[in-house]
Amino acid sequence: MQDIGNILDNRVLLVALIACVIAQLLKLIIEVIQHRKLDVRVLVTTGGMPSAHSALVTSLAVGIGQTIGWSSSEFALATVFAIIVMYDAAGVRQAAGKQARILNQMIDELFYENPEFNQDRLKELLGHTPFQVIAGSALGITITWLAKYAY
């Protein structure tokens, strides 16, 4: 049970999670502004502005750099991890979302005459644009630097 208390004392982890939650809340606010309706599903879905994944991993890397040191192996590991996550979000997952959109369109056109065909649609909003990734990363850095001065 003591280990759980130690996890909760991990400032770097808590700030990274806070950055992720703030990014998700910003998605909800942006959704309300853009579509003039409250859709709380954006709080638990991938994609959108800003990238919560980018905010999380960037905050984690910056927090490690601040705490352990910018030349530490841990910072290097966290930075490489962050780069891979952000590349995946803007590259691979965005491409998969585009493919899903095309496949959904093909299914709609092929089965237009047969409305009984009830196939689950593929999720189209999987990844992020490069701007959404950069915005999430900037958010993660900002929150981590602000948290450093708040403690």
Helix %, strand %, coil % for the chain, to 5? 75, 0, 25
Dist. CA 28–CA 127, nearest whole Å: 17
Residue bearing tokens 């992020």:
128
pLDDT per position in the chain (151 positions), as tens?
677 778 888 999 999 999 999 999 999 999 899 888 888 888 887 778 899 999 999 999 999 999 999 999 999 999 999 999 998 887 766 666 666 677 767 766 666 666 565 566 555 555 678 899 999 999 999 999 999 888 6
pTM score, whole prediction: 0.77
- Give me the pLDDT at residue 150, please: 81
- Give me the pLDDT at residue 13, please: 95
Residue bearing tokens 């579509």:
35
- Give me the pLDDT at residue 65, please: 97
Residue bearing tokens 């001065």:
149
Peptide bond just before 115 cis, omega within 30 deg: no
- Give me the pLDDT at residue 124, please: 52
- C-beta separation of 17 from 144 below 8 A: no
